[in-house]
Amino acid sequence: MPHRFQKIDWKKTLDSIPKDVADLLQKGFDEQNEKDFISLCTSLKQGKCSLCGHSLDYYDENAPCFHLLLNPKLRRKVRENLFSRPISFIKLYTYLAWVANSEKPFENINDILCDISDKRLFEATIRYKNIQWSFCFSKEDLEGHHGSKIGKMPHYHFQMSVDNNIIVSYNSTHIQFTPDDFMYFEMIRQNAIQIDPQYASGLDMLKGILQVSVLPNGLVEFVETISEEEAHITYVVPETINQEQLLEVGKIFENSNMEVYQIIDELNIEKGYNIKYYVFSRMKDNPIKKAKRI
């Protein structure tokens, strides 16, 4: 369906912004995202919604909030009211992905492109506790089903399941896109911006974070997040490292782009340490599968 954003040369428009201004805007955007994500995590722990400020079981039929989808006992009347109006795909998807990341960063989202059905432009499933939310839309959905009473406006499909039982089905939801969505999609189509996994916004601080613990068998375990799908684990023999050396590894890690094993190798060479270690690469545990729409 034609829309006003197609008339804009987005690449030319964005390239016209001075680099220092663009960098400043991006910095402000990243900082705000980080604050918003921390606020979301804090609110969830308190049983509250960071968007509306109310408790997670609060419902206002005149202004339904995204937090309603965190309720595993979502009533039919409530969800019908929520989906009866246009909802930004970008905002809803990002919100639910952030919720999932608050529980286990990066591991509860499957939106990889390689296994998308030929009939779809987008497919993804997000998991949080015992709830799964799935999204999909095709080219026909994006344009709207002409001549059809249901789905004639551009829309996406949404599914929700609790304990693997579907309570909101793909075929029962035709959620209309908003202007924000069309603008974002058009910028992607024109290659003006890269496809940015918005759910990672606010989570850059988690990439490269080093978690250190001592296992029951005495090994010192360093867990470093490498990407959304992978973590590197370095096991150090405790007899070969002391407290000062442990702190030294952590300090170098914070101030460099080196991985733990690289830091240990460098310290062993430069300072004559004899730290012994083993490195493993761990992919996602319990990988999430997409809920396919037939």
At CA 56, angle to CA 157 and CA 134, rounded to 5? 20
Per-residue pLDDT of the chain (294 residues; tens, 9 = 90+): 567 888 889 889 988 999 899 889 888 887 888 888 889 989 999 999 999 999 998 988 888 899 999 988 878 788 888 888 899 999 999 899 889 888 876 678 877 654 556 677 888 899 999 999 999 998 889 888 887 777 889 999 999 999 989 988 888 889 999 999 999 888 888 888 765 555 554 444 444 556 777 777 778 888 776 655 567 788 898 889 887 888 888 888 877 778 888 899 999 999 999 999 888 765 555 556 666 665
In a domain, 294, yes or no: no
Label residue 207 left, alpha or beta by phi (over 0 means left) and psi (-120 to 50 means alpha): beta
Crossing angle for the helix pair 89-103 and 179-189, nearest 10 degrees? 90
The whole-number pLDDT of residue 208 equals 52
The whole-number pLDDT of residue 270 equals 93
Q: What pTM value is reported for the model?
A: 0.70
CB-CB neighbours of 127 under 10 Å: 21
User: Structural domain tally of the chain?
Assistant: 2
- Token code pair at residue 189: 């189509």
Q: Of 204, 224, 254, which marks where a domain is finished?
A: 204
In a domain, 290, yes or no: no
Q: Of 163, 187, 204, which marks where a domain is finished?
A: 204
One domain for residues 152 and 229 = no
One domain for residues 173 and 236 = no
One domain for residues 74 and 105 = yes
The whole-number pLDDT of residue 147 equals 77
The whole-number pLDDT of residue 294 equals 55
Residue with tokens 């609110």, as numbered in its chain = 43
* 3-state percent helix, strand, coil for the chain, nearest multiple of 5: 40, 20, 40
Phi and psi at 98, nearest 5°, equal: -65, -40
Q: Give the whole-angstrom CA distance, residue 130 versus residue 56.
A: 16
Contacts of 204 (CB under 8 A, 6+ apart): 30, 34
One domain for residues 33 and 47 = yes
The whole-number pLDDT of residue 119 equals 73
Contacts of 63 (CB under 8 A, 6+ apart): 52
CB-CB neighbours of 286 under 10 Å: 9
At CA 98, angle to CA 36 and CA 28, rounded to 5? 35
Inter-residue contact 293 to 157 (CB < 8 Å): yes
One domain for residues 185 and 217 = no
Contacts of 30 (CB under 8 A, 6+ apart): 201, 204
Q: Of 204, 230, 246, which marks where a domain is finished?
A: 204
Q: Where are the beta strands (DSSP E) in 129-184?
A: 131-137, 155-162, 165-168, 175-176
Contacts of 281 (CB under 8 A, 6+ apart): 226, 230, 231, 232, 233
One domain for residues 198 and 270 = no
Contacts of 185 (CB under 8 A, 6+ apart): 142
